Amino acid sequence: MSGNAGPRVLAIAAAPRADGHEGTEFLRVLVALRACGRDVTLLEAGAGTGSLTGDADLSTEGERYLTALREEGVVARASGDDEIAAALAQAEAVVLLPDPSRPGIPPLLRIPKGVRPGPEALADLLRAGQVAVV
C-alpha cells in the first residue's frame, strides 16, 4: 500500500503468468490508478503466487509498469487468505488478474464493502467471473 492517497484499491494477481497482454494491461491500470491518487495494494493469490514476484517473466512494458508501481511504493507480495480478507474489508474497489482456467462461477461475486469475507467468499474470489465491492 502507498500512503493515504485516496480510495483503496485491492489488486489481486491470480493468473499463473503475467507476461501476456492481460498481465501488462492489469499493471497499466494499476499505474493509472496511482496517477489518479488511488491507494493500491497489490497481492498475489492462488495460481498467481509468484507471477509478479521472484522470477516474474514480464514483457518489457509490463516490467516498466511494475517498476513504476514500486517507485510509488506499491510492491507485489504473495498473500494468504487472512491478508486478502483483511485487505478486502478495507477496499473500495478490486482489480483482478484472474486465472484463465477459473470456472467463472459465480459470474459476478459481490463482496460487501467494509466486511471481512469468510473462507467461502475467498474461495469464490479465485473462481468468479468478475468481482465487485458493493
Per-residue pLDDT reduced to its tens digit, 21-45: 999 999 999 999 999 999 999 999 9
- The H or E element that residue 108 is part of is strand 108-111
Backbone angles phi, psi at 59, to 5 degrees: -65, 165
Per-residue confidence at 1, pLDDT binned at 50, 70, 90?
Answer: very low
**Residue 95 above 60 pLDDT?**
yes
**Residue 5 above 80 pLDDT?**
no
Nearest of 7, 35, 28 to residue 94 by alpha carbon: 7
Strands 108-111 and 93-97: unpaired
Give all domains of the chain, ordered by start, each with its CATH number.
Answer: 8-133 (3.40.1260)
Confidence (pLDDT) at 6: 59
To 10 degrees, what angle do helices 119-127 and 81-90 make? Answer: 90
CB environment 65-87: b (16+ within 10 A), e (fewer): bbebbeebebebebbeeeebbeb
Residues 6+ apart with CB under 8 A from 9: 30, 33, 38, 39, 40, 41, 91, 92, 93, 94, 95
Per-residue confidence at 56, pLDDT binned at 50, 70, 90?
Answer: confident
Backbone angles phi, psi at 12, to 5 degrees: -120, 120
Mean pLDDT of the chain: 92
